[in-house]
Amino acid sequence: MNIKINGFLALVYLTFALTACTTLPPSPKQPAPSWEKREVALQHIQKWQLKSKIAVKTKNDAGSAILHWNQRNDRYNITLLNPIGSPILKLTGQNGQVLLELSDGKHYQSNNPEKLLEDTWGMRLPVSSLLYWVRGLPAPGPYDGVFDPSHRLSSLTQQNVQVEFLNYMRAGNIDLPQMLKITSPSMQIKMRIYEWSFN
């Protein structure tokens, strides 16, 4: 009887030993790409669309709008709509020239989108820099950046403006900003992106 029990225990021990030898360790989690790799990947996103809501506050005024942005390499179309979806204006830019069309059909041209928006809409949006900030990139020029553990920008200070990347969302195979807060001495912009698409 003792011989049978000892043999059985030996068999159980051998089974566990073989199982331990053949069990594969869990696959290691893939590390997040470094900022340098992420920056290159973001810079390669040249054809994209986003839909968002923005709130703009200045010392003397405040307003909100729906913002749709369609980017094709160096050409962009930005459409602003009021909260119920009626068009406010459309801004088209390419090769340093900007065309603005208001809802009443009036057209204006300039080589400065920020000043054009301020003169016609009454709000100054940093369009030239937003092109980069909405993708989680610094605009060209010097900046001070803070990064999260996944090597994404969590905030940056550039051109006397602070940009906070409050949240990211997965879009395709990369994380892109979902919520931004942009603060300058004269204005604060809050932007919530609810849709990214590419083609």
| CATH number of 128's domain | 2.50.20.10
C-alpha–C-alpha distance, residues 4 and 184, integer Å: 83
The reply to whether 5 falls in a domain is no
181 within a domain of the structure (yes/no): yes
Predicted local distance difference test score (pLDDT) of residue 15? 42
Task: Give the model's pLDDT for residue 32.
Answer: 61
pLDDT of residue 99: 97
Residue 126: count of CB within 10 angstroms of its CB: 20
Q: What is the pLDDT of residue 199?
A: 82
pLDDT of the residue at 9: 40
Ordered mean pLDDT values, 10 residues apiece, the chain (199 residues): 43 42 46 85 97 94 94 97 93 95 94 92 90 98 96 96 98 97 96 96
Output the pLDDT for position 31: 52
Domain total for the chain? 1
pLDDT of residue 30: 52
Torsion angle of the four alpha carbons 152, 113, 192, 144, in this order, in degrees rounded to the nearest 10: 30
**Which residue(s) pair with 98 in the sheet?**
93, 110
Could you give the CA distance from residue 170 to residue 71 in angstroms, rounded to a whole number? 19
Task: Report pLDDT for 124.
Answer: 85
Residue span of the structural domain in which 152 resides:
37-198
Residue 17's contacts (CB-CB under 8 Å, 6 or more residues apart) are: none
pLDDT for residue 172: 92
